[in-house]
Amino acid sequence: MTARLLAGAAALLASALAAPAFAAEVNVYTTREPGLIKPLLDAYAEKTGTKVNTVFVEKGLAERVAAEGANSPADILMTVDFGNLIDLVDKGLGQKVSSSTLDGAIPAAFRDPGGQWYGLSMRTRVAYVAKEDAAAAKGLTYENLADPKWKGKVCIRSGQHPYNTSLIAAMIARDGRDATKAWLQGVKANLARKPAGGDRDGAKDIAAGTCSVAIGNSYYVGLMRSGKSGPEQQKWADAIEVVLPTFKNGGTHANVSGAAVAKNAPNKDEAVKLLEYLVSDEAQGIYAKANYEYPVKAGAPVDPILAAFGALKIDETPLVDISKNRKDAAALIDEVGFDS
């Protein structure tokens, strides 16, 4: 009996030593707060047995990966804002991926034509509107924000913030530089206060009666209405309605959170598998629940708070075309003295 037990124990030990602790491994460098993506990465690890190592890089992601060079352990570079994704490609830090799963799930406007970066979730640039002005804002377009009827009623953060330069660059791509300059001058004339603060300050100022309409990202409303940002911000959210503005003859402007496979990824195949998981219905639903972001995949579940905003028609101007106008957008903001 003792000999058999010892033999069995030896066999189990040999099996444990021979088998890896994880089926595979993948390293994610991210500028996104770990808490925001942890539910997704935990779900993937549990589903596949893959070990996901996460490195949070608050600033200087591109610089860090470039400095690590060929020895970089990074497999996936994950960040917010398509400008940051394009910057990674421009600096030669990504590599081409061929995946019918990614191409099939992500609209062409929200991925790199060369297969070097992919949008994984969307945040839209919406209007927070005082409840008493909701009827007047029905059918609002971004162009309408320059209408004199909103004089002294508009709040917005700095025009030079990436959320706004993205919107302005999209307008240049659609309407041209001259029309966009005139629009910026009109919006400036309608401001209730100097551009400042963050998006949630727009809701705060509406609650205080400072303005009637503010431009902000959609997911902030989810954070405020859910109570995750505290009872005070929940009151700000209670003071507003959300309107989904569109460009004239277009849709609602969206930015993305996304990722690229690193140029020197030691685990490229595993990196692609993780990206493919992130556009599955399961993962897109986790994005929606955890971060109040819109799924990039059509038909994936939307959080009820966002669904209550109404039917969303996304503008189809390719992000790569918008990106070409971001420097011009920043120059226009200074040219009209928007933030002064």
Residue 70's domain is classified under what CATH number?
A: 3.40.190.10
Is the model more confident about 86 or about 18? Answer: 86
- 88 shares its domain with 178: no
Dist CA 276 CA 281 (whole Å)? 11
Split into its structural domains, the chain has a count of 2
Binding residues for Fe cation: 219-220
pLDDT band at 290 (very low <50, low <70, confident <90, very high): confident
- 195 shares its domain with 222: yes
pLDDT at 30 over 60: yes
Is the model more confident about 9 or about 18? Answer: 18
Radius of gyration of the chain (CA): 23
- 37 shares its domain with 183: no
Residue 11 belongs to a domain: no
Residue 306 belongs to a domain: no
pLDDT at 21: 57
Q: Residues 195-207: pLDDT tens digits?
A: 999 999 999 999 9
- 328 shares its domain with 185: yes
- 177 shares its domain with 155: yes
- Give the list of residues 6+ apart from residue 70 with CB closer than 8 angstroms, or none: 264
- 132 shares its domain with 227: yes
pTM, two decimals, is 0.88
Residue 4 belongs to a domain: no
What is the maximum span of the chain, computed from C-alpha positions, in angstroms?
Answer: 93
Dist CA 306 CA 77 (whole Å)? 27
pLDDT at 22: 58
Phi, psi dihedral angles at 44 (to 5 degrees) = -65, -45
- 91 shares its domain with 153: no
Structural domain for 43, as ranges:
16-121+256-301
Binding residues: 219-220
Residue 323 belongs to a domain: yes
Q: Residues 61-92: pLDDT tens digits?
A: 999 999 999 999 999 999 999 999 999 999 99
- 180 shares its domain with 328: yes
Closest C-alpha among 244, 246, 242, 252 to residue 130: 242
